[in-house]
Structure 1
């Protein structure tokens, strides 16, 4: 048995012990040396196994003390269910719900668990403002001129440098800048598909991706998604003959928070390369990990150029700047032509500001604080839900990002619950927004990237009470 398989096997045994409650929250794990003796393996193999568990937020290391079962993992609430593969289901479009939710977003009295952005209190706004002044002073035409269609050279250089955080070996020439990640997905889709083609996506999936794919006249296959490990390879294999492209959020997807294991990412890239099917990879949340290191995107394993790696700073730094990018692999020239046709060029000012922010390590410094805040918020939310929501509530266990997926009693319709919650000035995203089928009616997505205070805690408790009243 290879060393690689061995460490995964040990990690899996410990993971099962945590899942079944044999190892309880806060309990100390046997030492690395003890595990080494039990399994008769090298110290390095055990360290790799522990690293694997840490990257899933299952265990946490405490300096000079050892490894413990993470507070985040063990909850008495079960994981959400995995849906079935629907290949010919009748559609039930979610536009009615999306419109309703967006109508309340500007209401300042609301506790907004519905919007998928980071609260402004968590953003370095003063530093970004200084960056704008600095850039305006130094830009030759104060940002009024056109950029090349490929995008700002300074930003592309910094994104390429940043790719080293996940073992990426990109150069500035591999990157095309866009107006946010959705715009990157849009250019990628129109580059590799034509109306009538079919695209495979995760399910549940962010409604913006769903709406965009539909608007381009494309068909959709929703693949069942495990709340921890993402899309199953076997389900992907079943649909390969039918699809022209895949669009996956492989790291901490929205709304489930699942993160595809590295082995699965390698296999996905291998399969799609073999069938020459492009993978549009939305890596929007990859930098918001709770474990010790950033999970690699599928792009890290792409040798044939079939992965179109998309990202932005919309979820980490400045949502309104609309600064995003794509590394389109072998489709670069065609994608640049599409961008030239649609938007000519991206606004240079905010690209320069973000490039400047990334240049001197400020982005990494900001991310460290943000990740810490988000992880603590996740624990606050998890404990409050466990205490105040019905006992049969199921809850996702994201290893990064900032959204929670809840599955309630089958008798609850979250579209009806939403109308009741709005009267109590509480907003959330009902589950049916995240599919084209009639499903997830008893599910909801909550954003935990909001400032945790008494009002938020009270609103979360009230939401739990409203659910109990509905039962």
Structure 2
């Protein structure tokens, strides 16, 4: 246990030195033996540190020479600008653009950079099928009965046990299962608001959340957001008197992939709690971290039950199973009442299958592989963009998740780029989808959830050529 702590702490510290460029590309790192002597760790622990950093593409091994800081392509690509939405609520939803982008979903002959979910090739389909069959065999009446209103007890117990990874100490009774993450968010918004209320969110933000807020008659106030650290705290402070609730994706949100530092999360929870403003926290990407440790949730700093934590397995295990949950804090009875009215019960068989998958340890093994693949994909994408896109292209630097945000020259309209790309069987997500204001017209989100292949690289090359032709 002590070695695990030292390994994680040392890996994180070296990674921070590299990302902050205290350690420069090409710098030589201490040898395994020297690392052991300096930090009082075993040879195996030291090797684990280097393997972890190598898996993140932060360092590289040179035969007979040791380990060196990698010459990463992303260090040549500047970061996108901090978003600057107008300080007014808006509802100018780009319905036609969203419809066009979603119309390409499921097209087998398309390269779908627009779909923010992992490809089926990255998911443990055979093992999931076995758990589905097992659930059908073992459940009473083959799983045709309704679940208890609060949801599958085994699933809630497994999720509660995993809360220790993000700084929580949940009990199974703290959770309510839902039909996916969006269902959880929907219940929370309905429980906490009425038409005409104002909700604060990141900008840019996932289109489905913006559409959901609009459908409930809420006014959306978009907050300035840094591509690495998330919302600007000072901007939130200014709008506190004007908002009724807040919804954030603190860990690797889409489309930026930003991750709020722990001190920011703690401050946000404090600010909102002092005014009695509920925080809906969407942690759907939290398990997809690239570093040595999972980031904490805002819920870890919640002392009065005003943070409602929502998540699901839709982005890391089984999108179509629609298994999600909410930790509603002091709003539990309101959430249960809404669930009774709207769904009565969650899906019996899929909940049981996911619960068994979590219980037998397969989930952690799958997550390790998926995180490594996604981080490797991210590095490949960055290298391709650095090579094939015009100079001046800016990209986010996510430390987890499924999204890469690309900011192009202001002369390039990403919606027009989408139309041209579709003719070459490439689908992207234009930036205008992720806001209710007239902004991000020259931006796009690319999903890194596709297996990296020569074909994917060629499609990025084609996309880069289209961007060059539009400048």
Query: Is 2:176 the counterpart of 1:180?
Result: no
Kindly indicate whether the alpha-carbon contact (under 8 Å) linking 1:122 and 1:370 is maintained by their aligned counterparts in 2. yes
CA deviation profile, 1:90-138 (whole Å, cap 9, x unmatched): 6532111110011112221111100011010110000011111111111
Where does residue 350 of structure 1 map in the other structure? 350
Report deviation, 1:59.
Answer: 5.5
Query: Is 2:222 the counterpart of 1:222?
Result: yes
Equivalent runs, 1:397-436 vs 2, <5 Å:
397-436=397-436
* Secondary structure of the corresponding residue to residue 406 of structure 1: strand
CA deviation profile, 1:349-377 (whole Å, cap 9, x unmatched): 10000000000111001000110111111
Where does residue 390 of structure 2 map in the other structure? 390
Where does residue 38 of structure 1 map in the other structure? none
Distance 1:66 1:140, change over 3 A: farther
Counterparts of 1:181 and 1:405, CA distance in 2: 22
* Secondary structure of the corresponding residue to residue 221 of structure 1: strand
* Secondary structure of the corresponding residue to residue 257 of structure 1: coil
Kindly indicate whether the alpha-carbon contact (under 8 Å) linking 1:431 and 1:442 is maintained by their aligned counterparts in 2. yes
Distance 1:291 1:71, change over 3 A: farther
Distance 1:164 1:197, change over 3 A: same
Distance 1:114 1:69, change over 3 A: same
Distance 1:60 1:328, change over 3 A: farther
Counterparts of 1:184 and 1:190, CA distance in 2: 10
Distance 1:150 1:133, change over 3 A: same
Where does residue 159 of structure 2 map in the other structure? 159
Kindly indicate whether the alpha-carbon contact (under 8 Å) linking 2:85 and 2:203 is maintained by their aligned counterparts in 1. no
Kindly indicate whether the alpha-carbon contact (under 8 Å) linking 1:25 and 1:74 is maintained by their aligned counterparts in 2. no
Report deviation, 1:347.
Answer: 1.3
Counterparts of 1:441 and 1:233, CA distance in 2: 25
Where does residue 129 of structure 2 map in the other structure? 129
Distance 1:12 1:393, change over 3 A: farther
Where does residue 261 of structure 1 map in the other structure? 261
Equivalent runs, 1:436-455 vs 2, <5 Å:
436-455=436-455
Kindly indicate whether the alpha-carbon contact (under 8 Å) linking 2:167 and 2:297 is maintained by their aligned counterparts in 1. no
Counterparts of 1:285 and 1:460, CA distance in 2: 24
Counterparts of 2:402 and 2:383, CA distance in 1: 15
Where does residue 4 of structure 1 map in the other structure? none
Kindly indicate whether the alpha-carbon contact (under 8 Å) linking 2:73 and 2:383 is maintained by their aligned counterparts in 1. no
Distance 1:411 1:261, change over 3 A: same
Report deviation, 1:86.
Answer: 1.2
Question: Scaled by the length of structure 2, what TM-score is found?
Answer: 0.89
Report deviation, 1:405.
Answer: 0.2
Counterparts of 2:358 and 2:123, CA distance in 1: 14
Report deviation, 1:15.
Answer: 6.1
Report deviation, 1:29.
Answer: 5.5
CA deviation profile, 1:39-93 (whole Å, cap 9, x unmatched): xxx999xx9xx9xxx8xx7966989999864666842110011122412376532
Where does residue 314 of structure 1 map in the other structure? 314
Report deviation, 1:23.
Answer: 3.8
Where does residue 107 of structure 1 map in the other structure? 107
Kindly indicate whether the alpha-carbon contact (under 8 Å) linking 1:59 and 1:67 is maintained by their aligned counterparts in 2. no
Question: Which 5+ residue runs of structure 2 have no aligned equivalent?
Answer: 1-11
Counterparts of 2:68 and 2:405, CA distance in 1: 25
Query: Is 2:377 the counterpart of 1:377?
Result: yes
Query: Is 2:116 the counterpart of 1:116?
Result: yes
Counterparts of 1:167 and 1:395, CA distance in 2: 30
Counterparts of 1:237 and 1:61, CA distance in 2: 43
Question: Which 5+ residue runs of structure 1 have no aligned equivalent?
Answer: 1-10, 36-41
Counterparts of 1:249 and 1:94, CA distance in 2: 21
Where does residue 189 of structure 2 map in the other structure? 189
Distance 1:349 1:302, change over 3 A: same
Distance 1:14 1:138, change over 3 A: closer
